[in-house]
Amino acid sequence: MIEVYLLNLTSQLEKPVEKFLRYFTTKRQEKILSYKFTADRNRTLWTELLVRSIIAKKMFRTIEEIQIERDQSGKPYVVDSALQISLAHSKNWAACSIGEVASGIDVEENFADALAIAQKFFTAQEYRQLCNLDGWAQAEKFLCLWTIKESFAKLTGHKLDDALTVDSSDILLGSSIAGKNFFLNGAVIGICTERNYLPRNSICFTL
């Protein structure tokens, strides 16, 4: 079974990251500090700390002993572990999925110009569905579609532009790869993995 974990970052976004850098390799420290804004540094830092702390507990190790690397496509993996992961973050949330099989995860909050994006990238049927909604119903439906498509891209290695054109119903009703949404305080989470490994719920932490 895939496990989904979420971390609320609201209280942390503008705090300095320097005291937490010791948990990272020099290369990752440089990557974190390369972001101009403190909030972006915190999103990157805490997303990785979230998954490393969970895996450390599972493997009876310290956070320092858990290292995350990226393959040639940029997909993260855990060094010296069979566990497979996917990472995501948005405005106020960090998210990760962990399991013995590959998965893809995305978390999003409100998009500006959602209908324009949908008209450009989504299928005609999905765009019509959104046009028939308004307010939060429309925003939530858009986020459901987007997060499923982006998590599908992370799982399969498709380019995001290509994945956005895939009919979401083909993913949600897939015979092998399948997707699912979770909802939490204005955020929408999308997860894609093998159908038999879809998670039943998510676990939320607050800093």
Q: What is the mean pLDDT of each run of 10 residues along the chain (207 residues)?
A: 95 96 95 97 98 96 94 91 96 96 96 92 95 94 96 92 86 80 92 92 88
Split into its structural domains, the chain has a count of 1
Q: Say how far apart CA 83 and CA 76 lie, in whole Å.
A: 11
Residue whose C-alpha is closest to residue 123's, from 174, 162, 178, 154: 162
- Round to whole Å and give the CA distance between 142 and 130: 7
Strands 103-108 and 68-70: unpaired
What range defines the domain where residue 136 resides?
3-206
pLDDT in tens, 64-100: 999 999 998 889 999 999 999 999 999 999 999 999 9
Specify the pLDDT at position 191: 96
Q: Is the dihedral of CA 119, 125, 126, 127 positive or negative?
A: positive
Q: Are 164 and 124 in contact (CB under 8 A)?
A: no
Strand partners, 193: 103, 178
pLDDT at 9: 97
What are the residues whose beta carbons fall under 8 Å from the beta carbon of 67, sequence distance 6 or more?
Answer: 25, 52, 78, 79, 80
What pLDDT is stored for residue 174 in this prediction? 65
Determine the pLDDT at residue 126.
96
Range list of H helices, the chain: 26-33, 38-59, 114-121, 124-131, 135-156, 160-164, 168-172
CATH code of the domain containing 157:
3.90.470.20
Cα gap 35→38, rounded to integer Å: 7
Model confidence, pTM: 0.93
- Is-contact 63 56, C-beta < 8 A? yes
Helix (H) or strand (E) holding 69: strand 68-70
Residue 124's contacts (CB-CB under 8 Å, 6 or more residues apart) are none
